[in-house]
Structure 1
Amino acid sequence: MDKKLLATVEELIGKGIPLKATQILLEDDEIHAMQEYANTVSIKRLGYNDHGPVHMRTVALNATIMMGLLKQAGIRTSLEAEEAGTFEESLVAVLLASFLHDLGMTIGRQDHELHSCYLAYPIIDRILQVLYPQDIQKRVVTRSLAIEGIVGHMAGRKIHSLEAGIILIADGCDMEKGRARIPMALAHEPRVGDIHKYSANSIETVKLTAGTEKPIRIDVTMSAEVGFFQVEEVLLGKIASSTAKGFVELYASVVGGEPKRYL
């Protein structure tokens, strides 16, 4: 996963600041410790699915792929359109938000996106001091954008930037069956949220490619129809709330069946 993420970032923008940011995020001991504990709280205490390092890396990879597809299609990020920054800063903000958006799960599920913000803030500051030591404007802009991506990833709060909208969808796309494996194994009796685990356990693959009509195509393949719950109740809601909604095609199908088009 780490090598794939690094290769995707490098292919998109070369050996620049975003690649350095990715390396820092992957190697930071504090981030890794918080991600691991977020997973412990999520799975063992609350009975939810994976919210740890694998999930956050997957979100980062999903977001990077989508950022590349938008760039390939000539779609400018909010920072670019507003002349407040470049694609580079947009990508750095998206990477920061991807890696840090679920840190609040170390505290609990309710309002975890808000908890994530204040837990992530000093880490973001620390990393941006390394990336842009002489440019306070880039630090301010990138930090603000990353925080918007974190606070908006649950689709419960209005977001405005394209970058934050990408985080929403990238998070929703991490629903392959591996994410539900541990809580499924630990479950001994029915609990709140079980439908999410069973639904996610039926998702075989989620593929992000260039669309034929829109820049981003999402294909979800599942082993059983219960997977449609995950698509319709989780992913669709996040896409509907995303500023990137107009750039997405969404298809879902049971293995061997005809794909159903949603968007």
Structure 2
Amino acid sequence: MRSPKEISIEKKIFEQLNPESSAFKTAELLSSDSEIQLMQEYANTVSIVRLGYNDHGPVHMRTVTRNAVLMLNILHEAGIKTNLENENAGTLDDSMTAVILASFLHDLGMTIGRQDHELYSMTLATPIIDRILEKVYPDELGKRVIIRSLAMEGIIGHMAARRIHSLEAGLILIADGCDMEKGRARIPMVLNTEPKVGDIHKYSANSIEKVKITAGDPKPVRISIDMSSDVGFFQIEEVLLPKVNMSPVKPYIEIMASVQGGESKKYL
């Protein structure tokens, strides 16, 4: 059963999509799928309870989807075309469908473990992507092949460990890196009180008050980060920036960060 938080994020996703589009239908199918919901919930159990990491479950995967959809819409408004559009291989709607599939399923591999989870995510997501696309594009095998490949590129590339080449896939790792507000670290902070290596990630994330994605100037997309403490700069510099640097979307991104009451620091 989806939580009120999950439903709220889904509403924000749907608000950004054309109700008549393939992307909208894809988002509907993903959000109402019982198997996906159970896999996302178990990914969170493994991540938080077993491993002591932060949220990698239904809320996180929906948040990443919302971020990715928002950025793609901003880029479209700025006249930036996707790879499918530039290569005459598909439409903006097709690109959005691939982005939604990748972002909604990118952390399913956490049901198995942290190491190489992007590879496991791709394996677990493949049959799901196939059955979703068969409903959305029942008579268009060519489109299903292209969109599946693009979604897989987004999934396998979200950890910034492998070079990716499409704008669509490049949105996923940035959208993932932007989910760093303190709520994501709240449960691990409560459950795991013994100090251990890696705690800096939890404490830095807990200082991130707000992340906003808006249209920017002069670059199309602005990521604004508001922090309660300067320990949050660790989260930006060690988590978000490496993902931006590996993304084909980097030329279109600017990042502004500030501790509450302080001056903004511009990264890009």
The answer (yes or no) to whether the contact 2:109–2:120 under 8 Å persists in 1 is yes
Counterpart of 2:200 in structure 1 is 195
CA shift for structure 1 position 150: 0.1
Q: In the alignment, is residue 109 of structure 1 matched against residue 114 of structure 2?
A: yes
Q: Does 1:119 align with 2:124?
A: yes
**Structure 2 counterpart of 1:148, from 125, 129, 153:** 153
| Among 48, 51, 65, the residue aligned to 1:43 | 48
Q: What TM-score, normalized to structure 2?
A: 0.96
Q: Which amino acid aligns with 2:159?
A: M
Q: Answer yes or no: is the 8 Å Cα contact 1:107–1:115 preserved in 2.
A: yes
Query: How far apart are the structure 1 equivalents of 2:197 and 2:94?
Result: 40
| Alignment pair present for 1:165 and 2:155 | no
Match of 1:130 among 132, 135, 138: 135
Which residue of structure 1 lines up, in the alignment, with residue 39 of structure 2?
Answer: 34
Q: Does 1:262 align with 2:267?
A: yes
Distance in 2, Cα, partners of 1:95 & 1:74: 20
Q: Which amino acid aligns with 2:256?
A: Y
List alignment gaps of at least 5 residues for structure 2: 1-5
Residues 143-172 of structure 1: CA distance to partner in whole angstroms, max 9, x if unpaired?
000000000000000100000000010000
Q: Which residue of 2 aligns with 1:93?
A: 98
1:214 aligns with 219
From 84, 89, 93, give the equivalent of 1:84. 89
Q: What runs of 5+ residues in structure 1 fail to find an aligned partner?
A: none
Question: Normalised by the size of structure 1, how large is the TM-score?
Answer: 0.97
Aligned to 2:30: 25
Point out the more displaced range, 182-191 or 9-18: 9-18
One-letter amino acid matched to 1:86: T
- C-alpha separation in 2, matches of 1:40 and 1:10: 30
Distance 1:7 1:59 in 2: 12
CA deviations on 1:33-88 (whole Å, 9 max, x unpaired) are 00000000000111100000000000000000000000000100000000000101
- Which residue identity is paired with 2:215? A
**How many equivalent pairs are there?**
263
Report what 2:3 is aligned to: none
Map Cα deviations across residues 181-219 of structure 1 (whole Å, 9 max, x no partner). Answer: 000001121123211100000000000000010110000
Larger displacement relative to structure 2 (14-23 or 117-126): 14-23
What's the offset of the Cα at 1:8? 4.2
Q: Which residue of structure 2 aligns with residue 75 of structure 1?
A: 80
Give 3-state SS (helix, strand or coil) of 1:119's partner: helix
Q: How far is the alpha carbon of 1:12 from its aligned partner? A: 4.1
